Amino acid sequence: MKKIIALALALMMLLGCMGLASAEATSIAVCLSSEPDTLDPALNSAVDGATMLAHLFSGLATWAQDENGNLVIVPECATELTAPVFNEDGTVTYTYTLVDGLTWSDGVALTANDFVFAWKRAASSALGADYGYMFEVVKGYPDNLAVEATDDKTIVVTLANNVAYWNELLAFPTYFPVREDVVASEAWATDAATYVSNGPYTMASWSHNSLITLKKNPGYFKADTVTMDTIECYLSDDSSNMLANFENGDWLLIDDVPTAEIPNLKVNYPTEFVIAGQIGTYYVCWNVNQNLLPADSTLTGVEAEKANAEIRYALSLIIDRTYIVEEIGQAGQVPASSFVAMGMTDADGTEFYKNAGNSDEYIGYYNTESTDEVIDANFDAAYAIFEKYYEIDENGMITNAPTMEYLYNTSDGHKAIGEYLQYAFSMVGINMTLTNQEWNTFLNTRKNGDYYVARNGWLADYNDPICFLDMWTTVSGNNDVQYGKGAHADLAMYDLDLTALGYDIKVEDGTWAQTYDVLIAEIKACTDNTTRFALMHIAEDLLMSTGCITPLYFYTDIYMIDDSVQGFFSNPLGYKYFMYTTVVK
Amino acid sequence: MSGKMLFYILKRALLALLTIFIVITVTFFVMHAVPGNPFAGEKAISAEAQAALEAKFGLDKPLPEQYVDYLADIIFRFDFGPSMKLRGRQVIDVIMDGMKTSAVLGLIAAAGAALTGVILGAVAALRRNSILDKFIMVLTTAFVSMPSFITGTFLLLIFSVWLGWVPANGTTTSGLILPVITLALYPMAYITRLTRSSMLDVLGQDYIRTARAKGVPGWKIIFGHALKNSLIPVITYFGPMLAFIVTGSLVVEQIFAVPGVGRAFVSSITNRDYTMILGTTIFLATLIVIMNLVSDLLYKVVDPRIEFD
């Protein structure tokens, strides 16, 4: 009898252990977005595409988590991220050695020439890649890049000047290698059969509009560190559908949720609903060539623009950003009082946005606190400006402001913000109409400056404030405000004094081209990190002094991840990394 | 097949070609008149890159020349060109890829809708004013008036999220059950109502009364005379409906993550993917024209008195 009991107990223990022992899944199903436009590393400009590329390819460097969980850039295909050699002409040369035994997923050896080819291809104007400008820092951009392979394992690249974020660029998908014979046919990146990569994963299948399956690449030189065998990237861009698939347990990570569901999700999935930082700013841009003064105003030229700048600043003061993020955005966004986004690092390692502006009382260029005292003070400051230029009736309403038109691209979220702004401006007597346009038309209208005031947004490509600042030079393709264009080109009203930083540059009453454009050029040529960041703060000061940029909030990246997923991380650019995950059911 | 019918088909085919030609021409010039371009994005590309891309896709040529080139490619090479947004993919491949799913979904949904619709409609007509008739009418009124994003979302919520019987994405076969039902509900309800009213009309005709008077069995009257003759309006509706239903529905594809072709129609316009806009438009127009022709020919089968002219 004892034997039987012992046997039964042993059996129970065994069964118990089997039940308790967690089953580890070898695949993870996720949904980032719908069908990517392209998975060619040179052509991709989307965040979801970048996530997949980060699994399929290995660049010279990569993002990784250190032992404390902090994100760092570490060498990948390069043996080390070498220090630069400064040349006499101000250029900077880097020499990289590839690690031994690198191969492509089809077994062919990977050489330094593959990197050289890929970089020259991605930068070339002939390819017309969205992110071709990521190579702008390399000497000879766009069609004569100073990069060469001195032997099969050595890459030598020369930059036009020292670039603080160079290592980060090496981890950017546009810098990933591709092989000349593979990409000869443009269709190579549209079919798993012709897709040759060199990263932790290979593309096992691509069922268009449906599913991309990534399988662990046994030939990857660090294959033993990769814990997840298969990543299934389902392709859907409907956030309700994503949520349905997450809720019934089919998908373990979804990169979007319906905005209306956010309050419920926060309560029902406290550990699985994640709000992560993302380097980007949602803002309103004012066309610098549109007049905000009353029709009978006698001010013209520089005087009129100075008044307009003040009025735009005053209007920025009466916007309750806390209301926008809490009642409309609802996704943990942070009220913004400067343009360069939260998440950017300053020269001393602190956060750039915290050092923006020149106030001792608050961060940035406005006080965005939502207390009654601050709101009252902001209104008083705004009215002090309004009174200078407008007639104000006994109810405190401006009576003679021109009607403004707010342009946004068709979307419920943008509309809600537009309606809030319309309401906020109506509180001081300013009438603003709302116009929405379909996306592509909207881009065209805004780019051409055929608008009064428009919704805008900017996401960083790399952790350096210059990507928020160089877009406002006169010739930039992203200069939606129209700085230095049209009538604004001739307005000599800006000051620039860099003598304190050791420069021989002092401009009084200069045009935009004579001040801002010069300043950006100096930033790009500057090799001293501290000076360079000081210059960037000056650039942001100058930019914000125009009042044409009204920051509303800093973006966040919201996603849902199942509790069973361990070892996941994402970077500030929103790329998500699944290679080191395990799924414990 | 009579000579008259052949002549009719030939005439209709020529008219169809003319229709498609007009569709191409109008679409081509209208889409180019709309502001925007296929290479626009939140982040602008350089002027050189823009020029290189325009040259690559022939957008740097004058519009009439682009038009002639495009027509020549279609007529002489049956080449719809590459997509301007989905780099490296051919328009025809994108459409065919999506059609693999959309056609299966659409055909099942259309067949199901026609079969159920005709049966329910006939039953309702034969049991006119009964509880059953009223029930069918209430149900079909609801399905006709409820948009598919409502029915689809309800079905998804009940059968996928709550009950967990079927997956919420159309990447698997079982995931296609709900999309088929969602797609079929509206045409099913519409066909039911068409059949009912048409059948009521036919049932009141003299020849039905004559047949009854002559003692023809009830089932023979219904299947041999009434039902057949009441199908004409259904056929008129069925042709174009089939064309629309097999070319995918963006709404259903979104709700259930179905990899159909419907998305290509909408996204091509948002993206100003000119070749894709033309490709999808020509494809849909051709299907509609063919389906219309087929339903016209079917009239003759159902009602031999109809003459082609």
Measured between CB atoms, does A322 come within 8 Å of chain B? Answer: no
Measured between CB atoms, does A37 come within 8 Å of chain B? Answer: yes
Measured between CB atoms, does A260 come within 8 Å of chain B? Answer: no
Measured between CB atoms, does A436 come within 8 Å of chain B? Answer: no
In this complex, the residue of B85, B254, B255 whose CB is nearest that of residue A37 is B85
Cα diameter, chain B: 84
Query: What is the predicted pLDDT for the residue at B187?
Result: 94
At A492, the pLDDT band (50, 70, 90 cuts) reads very high
Measured distance CA(B119)–CA(B3) in Å, rounded: 36
Closest CA of chain B from A410, distance in Å: 11
- Joined together, the tokens standing for residue A122 give 């991605």
Q: Is the per-residue pLDDT at B236 higher than 60?
A: yes
Measured distance CA(B91)–CA(B279) in Å, rounded: 6
Measured distance CA(A145)–CA(A140) in Å, rounded: 4
- CB B212, CB B221: distance < 8 Å: yes
Query: Residue B22: inside a domain, yes or no?
Result: no
Measuring CA to CA, which residue among B14, B10, B4, B13 is closest to residue B304? Answer: B4
In this complex, the residue of A129, A208, A241 whose CB is nearest that of residue B257 is A241
Closest CA of chain B from A441, distance in Å: 5
Query: What is the predicted pLDDT for the residue at B292?
Result: 86
Residue from A261, A409, A440 to probe the interface with B (highest B Cβ count within 10 Å): A440
- CB B180, CB B166: distance < 8 Å: no
Spell out which residues of chain A touch residue B47, defining contact as CB-CB under 8 Å: 477
Annotate A424-445 with three-state secondary structure: HHHCCCCCEEEEEECHHHHHHH
Query: What one-letter code names the amino acid at B298?
Result: L
Task: Give the range of the structural domain holding residue B266, as residue numbers without chain letter.
Answer: 99-271
Closest CA of chain B from A45, distance in Å: 9
Closest CA of chain A from B253, distance in Å: 9
- Joined together, the tokens standing for residue B119 give 């049966």
Measured distance CA(B114)–CA(B126) in Å, rounded: 18
Helix (H, G, I), strand (E, B) or coil at A565: strand
Q: Which helix (H) or strand (E) holds B103?
A: helix B91-126
Spell out which residues of chain A touch residue B49, defining contact as CB-CB under 8 Å: 125, 127-129, 132
Q: Cβ atoms within 10 A of the Cβ of A393, count?
A: 10
At A449, the pLDDT band (50, 70, 90 cuts) reads very high
Residue count (chain A): 585
Out of A2-11, A136-145, B29-38, B146-155, least confident range: A2-11
**Helix then strand then coil, % of chain B, to nearest 5:** 75, 0, 25
- Residue contact B45–A128, C-beta within 8 A: yes
CA B153 to chain CA centroid, Å, is 21
Measured distance CA(B196)–CA(A122) in Å, rounded: 64
Look-up: residue for tokens 């200078």? A388
Alpha-helix residue ranges (DSSP H) falling in A229-369: 239-247, 262-268, 301-317, 321-323
- Residue contact B45–A477, C-beta within 8 A: yes
At A18, the pLDDT band (50, 70, 90 cuts) reads very low
Query: What is the predicted pLDDT for the residue at A161?
Result: 84
* Terminal alpha carbon distance of chain A: 38
Q: Is the per-residue pLDDT at A14 higher than 50?
A: no
Residue from A205, A212, A245 to probe the interface with B (highest B Cβ count within 10 Å): A245
Spell out which residues of chain B touch residue A411, defining contact as CB-CB under 8 Å: none
- Residue contact A245–B263, C-beta within 8 A: no
| Total domains, chain B | 1
Query: Residue B276: inside a domain, yes or no?
Result: no
Q: Cβ atoms within 10 A of the Cβ of A75, count?
A: 20
Closest CA of chain B from A523, distance in Å: 21
At A241, the pLDDT band (50, 70, 90 cuts) reads very high
Beta bridge partners of A436: A408
Cα diameter, chain A: 109
- Residue contact A440–B270, C-beta within 8 A: yes
- Residue contact B39–A478, C-beta within 8 A: no
- CB A584, CB A564: distance < 8 Å: yes
Measured distance CA(A177)–CA(A581) in Å, rounded: 25
Query: What is the predicted pLDDT for the residue at B134?
Result: 95
In this complex, the residue of B164, B169, B271 whose CB is nearest that of residue A241 is B169
Helix (H, G, I), strand (E, B) or coil at A143: coil
Measured distance CA(B130)–CA(A427) in Å, rounded: 61
Query: Residue B36: inside a domain, yes or no?
Result: no
- Residue B197 burial (10 A CB sphere; 0-12, 13-18, 19+): middle
Report the pLDDT averaged over residues B76-102. Answer: 92
Q: Is the per-residue pLDDT at A359 higher than 70?
A: yes
Q: Cβ atoms within 10 A of the Cβ of B112, count?
A: 17
- Residue contact B52–A127, C-beta within 8 A: yes
Measured distance CA(A309)–CA(A30) in Å, rounded: 47
Query: What is the predicted pLDDT for the residue at A16?
Result: 44
Closest CA of chain B from A168, distance in Å: 20
Spell out which residues of chain B touch residue A207, defining contact as CB-CB under 8 Å: 171, 259
Q: Is the per-residue pLDDT at B268 higher than 60?
A: yes
* Terminal alpha carbon distance of chain B: 15
Cα angle: B178, vertex B183, B188; to 5 degrees: 115
Query: What is the predicted pLDDT for the residue at A20?
Result: 43
DSSP code of residue B304 = T
Report the pLDDT averaged over residues A142-162. Answer: 94
Dihedrals phi, psi of A395, to nearest 5 degrees: -90, 5
Look-up: residue for tokens 């999700």? A265
- CB A355, CB A537: distance < 8 Å: yes
Spell out which residues of chain B touch residue A129, defining contact as CB-CB under 8 Å: 45, 49
CA A520 to chain CA centroid, Å, is 20
- CB A444, CB A406: distance < 8 Å: no
Task: Dihedral sign for Cα B18, B20, B24, B27, please.
Answer: positive
Nearest residue on chain B to A232, alpha-carbon basis: B171
Give the model confidence (pLDDT) of A89-114 as tens digits.
889 999 999 999 999 999 999 999 99
pTM attached to this predicted model: 0.87
- Residue contact B87–A125, C-beta within 8 A: no
Closest CA of chain A from B84, distance in Å: 10
Query: What is the predicted pLDDT for the residue at A21?
Result: 45
Q: Is the per-residue pLDDT at A412 higher than 90?
A: no
- CB A512, CB A482: distance < 8 Å: no
At B106, the pLDDT band (50, 70, 90 cuts) reads very high
Give the model confidence (pLDDT) of B164-186 as tens digits.
899 988 888 888 999 999 999 99
- Joined together, the tokens standing for residue A121 give 């291809």
Query: What is the predicted pLDDT for the residue at B212?
Result: 85
Nearest residue on chain B to A247, alpha-carbon basis: B161
Measured distance CA(A543)–CA(B44) in Å, rounded: 20
Closest CA of chain A from B20, distance in Å: 27
Query: Residue B91: inside a domain, yes or no?
Result: no
Residue from B59, B95, B169, B176 to probe the interface with A (highest A Cβ count within 10 Å): B169
Query: Residue B5: inside a domain, yes or no?
Result: no
Alpha-helix residue ranges (DSSP H) falling in A481-574: 512, 518-525, 529-545
- Residue contact A247–B43, C-beta within 8 A: no
Residue B153: give its domain's CATH number: 1.10.3720.10
Give the model confidence (pLDDT) of B61-71 as tens digits.
999 999 999 99
> Which of left, alpha, beta for A246 (phi over 0: left; psi -120 to 50: alpha)?
alpha
Spell out which residues of chain B touch residue A251, defining contact as CB-CB under 8 Å: 169
Measured distance CA(A61)–CA(A77) in Å, rounded: 7
- CB B248, CB B288: distance < 8 Å: no
Report the pLDDT averaged over residues B272-301. Answer: 89
Q: Angle of helix B3-33 relative to helix B274-302, nearest 10 degrees? A: 150
Q: Is the per-residue pLDDT at B243 higher than 90?
A: no
Size of interface A-B (CB pairs under 8 A): 144
Provide the ipTM: 0.85
Measured distance CA(A311)–CA(A452) in Å, rounded: 14
CA A553 to chain CA centroid, Å, is 14
- Residue contact A207–B98, C-beta within 8 A: no
Give the model confidence (pLDDT) of A290-305 as tens digits.
999 999 999 999 999 9
Task: Dihedral sign for Cα A373, A374, A378, A384, please.
Answer: positive
Measured between CB atoms, does A187 come within 8 Å of chain B? Answer: yes
Closest CA of chain A from B240, distance in Å: 26
Spell out which residues of chain B touch residue A240, defining contact as CB-CB under 8 Å: 153, 255
Measured between CB atoms, does A458 come within 8 Å of chain B? Answer: yes
Report the pLDDT averaged over residues B14-38. Answer: 93
Closest CA of chain A from B294, distance in Å: 31
- What percentage of residues in chain A have a pLDDT greater than 90? 81
CA B46 to chain CA centroid, Å, is 41
- CB A136, CB A129: distance < 8 Å: no
- Residue contact A250–B167, C-beta within 8 A: yes
Measured between CB atoms, does A426 come within 8 Å of chain B? Answer: no
- What percentage of residues in chain B have a pLDDT greater than 70? 99
Measuring CA to CA, which residue among B237, B294, B289, B116 is closest to residue B188? Answer: B116
Closest CA of chain B from A14, distance in Å: 32
Q: Is the per-residue pLDDT at A11 higher than 80?
A: no
- CB A160, CB A487: distance < 8 Å: no
Measured between CB atoms, does A411 come within 8 Å of chain B? Answer: no
Query: Residue B300: inside a domain, yes or no?
Result: no
Report the pLDDT averaged over residues B70-98. Answer: 92
Nearest residue on chain A to B42, alpha-carbon basis: A443
At B246, the pLDDT band (50, 70, 90 cuts) reads confident
Walk across the sheet containing A154-159 and list its strands.
Answer: A85-86, A92-97, A154-159, A147-151
Residue from B42, B56, B93 to probe the interface with A (highest A Cβ count within 10 Å): B42
- CB B219, CB B296: distance < 8 Å: no
Nearest residue on chain B to A455, alpha-carbon basis: B42
Query: Residue B28: inside a domain, yes or no?
Result: no
Residues 113-152 of A with CB under 8 A from B: 125-130, 132-133, 142
Nearest residue on chain A to B268, alpha-carbon basis: A440
- Joined together, the tokens standing for residue A22 give 């967690």
Query: Residue B206: inside a domain, yes or no?
Result: yes
Q: Is the per-residue pLDDT at A6 higher than 70?
A: no
CA dist A572 → A18, A171, A315, A330 (Å)? 40, 13, 31, 20
Closest CA of chain B from A119, distance in Å: 16
- Residue contact B255–A45, C-beta within 8 A: no
- Joined together, the tokens standing for residue A438 give 């379909």
Q: What is the mean pLDDT of chain A?
A: 92
